[in-house]
Amino acid sequence: MTEMDIEGMSVSDLEHLRDAVNQRLLELRYSNRHTLPELLRMLEDLKVALNDQGKEWRSLERWQWMDGQIRFWLNPTDQIRYQSGWYTINELLLWSRNRGPVLVPEEESLEEEPWTDVGGVRIRWLPDGTMERL
């Protein structure tokens, strides 16, 4: 086992270490096919790791059997960077590593920039000066 001097580490280094430890623990605990109760426990562990990373969501509770596996409904708060959808636990694990299908592809992310928030409503100004609600 490697000894580490965490006393000399910066906040950023400690947060990076915490995220790496959370991800590795999730990998070790949940590397095989699992029953629904195991997946739900894993989801709770994953939520803690995502929360530690500052990733927020409006919904990550619902699940259903789809395409031969359990999928979870994710409605992320930051929809400029992350996509809503039904995801497997492995896809959600990838999100914790800033990879996978939850991330909005770069080209789509660039298209979203014209949208602005006005009074809690996302709008995009059209060339003629009118606006379109999303």
* CA-based nearest residue to 120, from 133, 111, 110, 130: 133
| Average pLDDT of the residues in 109-134 | 62
Q: What's the predicted TM-score (pTM) here? A: 0.58
Place of tokens 């562990």: 45
Residue 126's domain spans which residues?
A: 106-134
Report the domain count for the chain.
2
| Residues 114 and 90 occupy one common structural domain | no
Is there a domain that residue 1 lies in?
A: no
CA distances to 6, 8, 15, 16 from 11, in Å:
10, 10, 6, 9
Is there a domain that residue 58 lies in?
A: yes
Check residue 23 and give its pLDDT.
79
| Residues 83 and 118 occupy one common structural domain | no
C-alpha to C-alpha distance for 83 and 105, rounded to whole angstroms: 9
| pLDDT, greater one: 100 or 129 | 100
62-77 pLDDT, tens digit per residue, is 999 888 788 999 999 9
Indicate whether 36 pLDDT > 80: yes
| Residues 20 and 76 occupy one common structural domain | yes
Check residue 128 and give its pLDDT.
61
C-alpha to C-alpha distance for 111 and 99, rounded to whole angstroms: 20
